[in-house]
Amino acid sequence: MIAGVGNVFRAEVLFVHGIHPATPGSSLDRDTIESIWNTLSRWLRDGVRRNRIVTNTRAEPLHVYHHDECNVCGTPLVAMDVGNRRIDLCPMCQPAPL
């Protein structure tokens, strides 16, 4: 679970790293955790500079947050509840943990 960065960043960083929101944080290896940290740090610095959240370099500023379909594979996104907050995910790009 990613906590403390806000729901938009949480949904976006999990998508970018191909991690399903139900994946236990304890199952992530150190390299993945460091990569997530680096991504979030870059996005947060960029957000302060731009005064807005941008996680995607394409025309859309966000990858999955409140979108209808995945901008990578075109699969309809799924919304699920994690910690009483909605999170959008792509079932193809973010496969459920085993």
pTM equals 0.90
Q: What is the pLDDT of residues 35-47, one digit of tens each?
A: 999 999 999 999 8
SS3 readout for the chain: CCCCCCHHHHHHHHHHCCCCCCCCHHHCCHHHHHHHHHHHHHHHHHHHHHCCCCCCCCCCCCCCCCCCECCCCCCECEEEEECCEEEEECCCCCCCCC
Condensed to tens digits (0 to 9), the pLDDT of residues 9-56 reads: 999 999 999 999 999 999 999 999 999 999 999 999 998 899 998 898
Query: Domain extents for the chain?
Result: 7-89
pLDDT for residue 88:
95
β-bridge mates for residue 85, sequence order: 82
The fold for domain 7-89 equals Helicase, Ruva Protein; domain 3 (1.10.8)
